[in-house]
Amino acid sequence: METVFYILAKSVEILLSLITFSMFMRVLLQFFVDVTESRLYAIALMISEPVVIPFRLLLAKLNVAQDTPIDIPFMLAYCFVGILLPMFLPII
């Protein structure tokens, strides 16, 4: 049973690390690459956007941060994943 929990915790840790990395790459690529034609950016967007969408919907429903040039839902999602990731590290 301990092995099952280990495998589950390790899988969640890898998934959260992949999401964090794709979010980081998404921000970085916007500065250096034409994002309309970049396949790497499209992959990073595919991985990270399902995490960001709930925050976009929540803030849109609350009418918060609609007119700001900063992507607040993206930052909240990044912080949320950053908070979740260390929760799985002590288990391993």
Residue-wise pLDDT tens digits, 8-19: 888 988 999 999
What's the confidence (pLDDT) of residue 91?
A: 57
Q: Model pTM?
A: 0.83
Q: How many domains does the chain have?
A: 1
Closest CA to 82 of 74, 58, 31: 74
Taking CA atoms, 36 is separated from 18, 19, 44, 47, 65, in Å, by: 22, 21, 13, 17, 25
Q: Which amino acid is at 80?
A: F
Binned at pLDDT 50, 70 and 90, residue 5 comes out as confident
Q: Which two tokens stand for residue 19?
A: 């999401």
pLDDT surpasses 80 at 89: no
**What domain range includes position 46?**
2-88
